Chain A
Amino acid sequence: MNNKDVLKGEKDTGLKKNLAAVERFKLLIAIVDRGRGTKVVNLFRSHHLHFDFACLGSGTASSRILSYFGLDETAKELVWTLSPCRRVRAVFQEAKTQLKLQKPGGGILFSVPLSAISGQIPPVLIKPEYSKEDESVDENLNGSQKKGRAYELILTIANRGFTDRIMEAARNAGAKGGTTISARRVGYEDGENPFGFTLQPEKEIIAILIPKEDKLPVMRAINREAGLKTECRGILFSVPVDDILGLQEEDI
């Protein structure tokens, strides 16, 4: 009896502290053509998703020949934001029409489940005045559950200049396209030199969205052609993806 009360009390204060704390969060990532990032940000903001960050990337070529002629690389923009789960579906609904993601090559929006976040985020993103909108939207959308295939996100971090080789391997195993982001390795120890700076090898992150069933063949192919044992020094892993929008089965 006593025990139960204590438990109940704990739970109550926990709930009182902030109802939002129990709400799960997702990471939303939009990949759109350079210059359309502000549209995505506006959409996110209209849903009270304030923590948005952008970085630049570029779409990979869809064939080797086109890549040689410099014709198939498009400048992309990645916009990241955190969103409470129940708002995700409303954002996706609106993204469909506002961002024209249905059109081939119009862009991609997907969400990644999170396992934990800073406790300082929910008070900003979840407020009583927002929750009304959430609920009304929720009712409308309760019926339309996830449809289509399940996707995963493969991330490969490799030395600069090997994107073509990695994409070639991935395409041969069934991938359609990807996005690259420039990066730099930090804390590389043995580069100290007389000028007192450290040489930092430039890296590239290649993100490929792939149907779950194609994940293993593609990852195996990349590992074979561009894994750690090769000069690409590719490190690869995959991340689960929940909702996805804008990925045409035939064309990206």
Chain B
Amino acid sequence: MRKNLKAKIMESLSSVLPISAIVLLLSFTLVPQMPIGTLMMFMLGSILLILGMGFFSLGADMSMMPMGDGIGNEVARISGKSKWRIIPICFLIGAFITIAEPDLQVLARQVPAVPDAVIILTVAAGVGAFLVISVLRTLLSKISLNRLLVGFYVLVFLLSAFVPKEFLAVAFDAGGVTTGPITVPFIMALGIGVAAMQRNGKKAEEDSFGMVALCSIGPILAVLIMGMCLSNTEISYTPFTVTTVFFSQEVGLQFLNGFPMYIKEVALGLLPVIAFFGIFQITSLRLKKESLIRIVIGLLYTYIGLVLFLTGVNVGFMPAGNYLGSAIAEQGYNWILIPIGMLVGYFIVAAEPAVHVLNKQVEEITGGAIPQKAMQLSLSIGVSFSVGIAMLRVLTGMSILWFLIPGYAVAIGLSWKVPKIFTAVAFDSGGVASGPMTATFLLPFAMGACSALGGDVLTDAFGIVAMVAMTPLVTIQCLGLFYQRKLRRTKEVTDAEASLMAPEDDIIDFDSLETANLGNIPNSGEESDE
């Protein structure tokens, strides 16, 4: 018991502490005038993050994964009986978990010109439709994931030409709502559950991933189509504002105000997952009492973990990120934003809660062939580059398309070169890496830097989310290339050994040997048994 608890604590410590240490170090060296209130909130936020991360990763393993997996199994089983019944089922699952996503409510409020309900329903329908598509893809296994992704990305780029610029920003942000810490483990587990029911083990492994990637295209397309329908409406998109400086007495108050909000939001977000699981459990799944108790306790952990994590990150990290960005940018040698951004990016991805779920599942599904450490390293390198590039853009004002288009082109090109599972994992990890940490620390960091330098926040700073979602596509697939090369190079048996074994390709039967020449056997440890 102690060992497992210790491992979990170590895991969450090692994912949050590095980034906290960097910020602390910066506040002593480069930006010594950082308000003590902001720093205190950051430290308090870090503690909440460590606790929240620990509870969440324990809870996700115990509840979200078995629930998603169980529903996935049932969906595959239902499809065995009647082909078309799964379409409405998957659509409803996708739509309802999206409607409950707190980020979506926030997004809808940021676009006042369009009624909230319209945006929410559009995005939900997009996710629902793409969940249907991705489940059908796994079951039919006719179209390869990379072809499907290319097709949809081309469609997205084509449509984006006909849509007002503001809608474009809303659309891409909507793609991020399906990558929240509740939806990612659930959709991922659902995908694994559906894929696990297949005959071919190899295919099941490849098809286990890719569902998150497909599902995050859904809302982008849906909002783009909505934008085309409403193209004559003037919309204003105000992404969000950052509260900046606090005094020490306000610190506690900020957290106290934060908690009730996230207590409500997380409960709302978990509700549809629990409801769908309940329906499946009653009608067909019928898990045993022991498993159910574990799931209930796991849900409790997930809930506590997410409330702590989201409060900590939103209240504690956002002001610190914003302040750091602007303070560093105001220095004479503001090019230092690039290396600092890269350093922060390298360590921050470990603190994304869904990243651990992804890494663990990848290790589990591939039987350890892709270890968690390799995934972690590739993601860190990817995010490090993306933050570096984002800082370069903040400093120079270069267009994001200079980086996004080549990036996606390379990612798609690589998808024909590397083993299929790496492509699926890579495209999933893009959404996973750009989670709450990116939204609450990296984005305010970029916004702070951008406004201090007098740039256009909407175009220069916001690109950071898109960059963080893009670079892992390349780095994870590079891991795949490396893996493939290593696999080709390793030889189980040398040529000399092969020539030695050629004449006797028979089976050595020890039992018959024993009777033939008793006494000649060098070691006779176990004959005494009989």
Which chain A residues have a beta carbon within 8 Å of chain B's beta carbons?
11, 15, 17-18, 21-25, 33, 37, 50-51, 54-56, 62, 64, 66-75, 77, 85-86, 105, 113-120, 122-124, 146, 161-162, 164-165, 182, 184, 186, 191, 193-200, 202, 240, 242
Asked whether, in the complex, the Cβ of A24 is within 8 Å of the Cβ of B510, the reply is yes
A184 and B3 CA atoms in complex are apart in Å by 29
B508: chain A residues at CB < 8 Å are 21, 116-119, 122
The answer to whether residues A118 and B507 also contact, given A37-B368, A123-B501 and a CB cut-off of 8 A, is yes
CB within 8 Å of A: which B58-94 residues: 58-59, 61-62, 73, 76-77, 79-83
- Quick check: which of B22-30, B292-300, B326-334 contacts chain A, the rest being far away? B292-300
Give the shortest distance, in Å, between B445 (CB) and chain A (any CB).
33
Cβ distance B42 to chain A, nearest Cβ, rounded Å: 30
Contact between chains at B510 and A164 (CB < 8 Å): no
- In the complex the two chains form, is B80's CB within 8 Å of A195's CB? yes
Query: Are A70 and B501 neighbours in the complex by a CB distance under 8 Å?
Result: no
Interface members, chain B 366-381 (any A CB < 8 Å): 367-368
B33 located at the interface, meaning its Cβ lies under 8 Å from any Cβ of chain A in the complex: no
What 7 pairs across the A-B complex have the smallest Cβ distances? A193-B80, A85-B523, A198-B199, A123-B500, A120-B501, A70-B62, A116-B509
Bound CA–CA A120/B501 (angstroms): 5
Question: How far is the CB of A48 from the nearest CB of chain B, in Å?
Answer: 12
Quick one: which of B276-303 are within 8 Å of A by CB?
287-288, 290-291, 293-294, 297-298, 301
Q: Cβ of A17: which chain B residues have Cβ within 8 Å of it?
A: 503-504
Contact B364 A56 (CB under 8 A): yes
What is the bound-complex CA distance between A55 and B291, given in angstroms? 24
- Looking at the complex, which one of B5, B199, B503, B522 makes contact with A22 (CB distance below 8 Å)? B522
**Complex partner residue of B526 from A105, A118, A200, A242, CB under 8 angstroms:** A242
Given contacts A21-B504, A86-B523, A113-B526, contact A199 B290 (CB under 8 A): no
In the bound complex, residues from chain A placing their C-beta under 8 Å from that of B204 are 184
Chain B contact patch, size range: 35 or more
Chain B residues near A115: list those with CB within 8 A: 509-511
Which of A25, A51, A199 has the most chain B CB atoms inside 10 A of its CB?
A199
Given contacts A113-B526, A116-B507, A240-B529, contact A55 B139 (CB under 8 A): no
Chain A residue nearest to B59 (CB atoms) is A70
| A124: chain B residues within 8 A (beta carbon) | 493, 497, 501
Cβ of B150 within 8 Å of any chain A Cβ, yes or no, is no
What chain A residues lie within 8 Å of B507 (beta carbons)? 116-119
Q: Give A116 to B522 CA distance when docked, in angstroms.
A: 16
B167-205 vs A, Cβ < 8 Å mask (1 yes, 0 no): 000000000000000000000000000001111110010
Q: With A70-B61, A119-B506, A123-B501 as given contacts, are A11 and B301 in contact (CB-CB < 8 Å)?
A: no
- A120, B103: Cα distance in complex, Å: 60
> Across the interface, do B199 and A186 meet the contact criterion of CB distance under 8 Å?
yes
Whether A74 contacts B497 by the Cβ 8 Å rule is no
A119 to B196 CA separation, bound complex (whole angstroms): 36
Query: In the docked arrangement, what's the CA distance between A72 and B294, Å?
Result: 12
B232 at the interface (CB under 8 A from A): no
B275 near A: Cβ within 8 Å? no
Decide if B4 touches A72 in the complex (CB within 8 Å). yes
**Would A193 and B79 be within 8 Å (CB), given that A120-B505, A161-B288, A164-B290 are in contact?**
yes
Within 8 A of A (CB), among B458-513: 492-493, 497, 500-501, 503-511, 513
Instruction: Tell me the complex Cα distance, A72–B7, Å.
Output: 11
Check if B1 is an interface residue, CB within 8 A of chain A: yes
A197–B77 Cα distance when bound, in Å, is 11
In the complex, the answer to whether A55 meets B298 with C-beta atoms within 8 Å is no
**Chain B residue, CB-CB nearest to A194:** B83
Let me know if A71 and B1 touch, CB within 8 A. Answer: yes
| Nearest CB in chain A: distance from B60 CB, A | 10
Please measure, in the bound complex, the distance between the C-alpha atom of A186 and the C-alpha atom of B200, giving whole angstroms. Answer: 9
With A17-B504, A56-B367, A240-B529 as known contacts, state yes or no: A197 contacts B62, CB within 8 Å.
no
Q: Assuming A193-B81, A200-B198, is B523 touching A161 (CB within 8 A)?
A: no
Judging by beta carbons under 8 Å apart, are A62 and B521 in contact?
no
Beta-carbon nearest neighbor of A195 in chain B = B139
Q: Complex formed: what's the CA distance from A146 to B526 in Å?
A: 10
Alpha-carbon gap, A68 to B295, bound state (A) = 8
Complex: chain B residue closest to A68, CB-CB: B293
Closest chain-B Cβ to A153's Cβ sits at a distance in Å of 15
Listed A/B pairs (16) with beta-carbon separation below 8 Å: A24-B523, A50-B492, A51-B492, A71-B5, A73-B4, A85-B522, A85-B523, A117-B507, A119-B504, A124-B501, A186-B201, A194-B80, A197-B199, A198-B198, A200-B196, A242-B525
Q: With the chains together, A198 CA to B275 CA distance in Å?
A: 29
In the complex, which residues of chain A have a beta carbon less than 8 angstroms from the beta carbon of B520?
15, 22
Contacting residues, chain B, for A37 (C-beta < 8 A): 368
Chain B hits for A18, CB < 8 A: 504
- Which of A70, A73, A77, A200 has the most chain B CB atoms closer than 10 A to its own CB? A70
| A73-B4, A194-B83 as given contacts; A56 in contact with B368, CB under 8 Å | yes
Nearest B residue (CB) for A55? B367
Q: Are B522 and A23 in contact (CB under 8 A)?
A: yes
Contact B61 A74 (CB under 8 A): no
Residues of chain B within 8 A of A184, CB atoms compared: 196, 201, 204
Q: A86, B522: Cβ atoms under 8 Å?
A: yes
**Interface of chain B residues 199 through 236 with chain A (CB within 8 A):** 199-201, 204
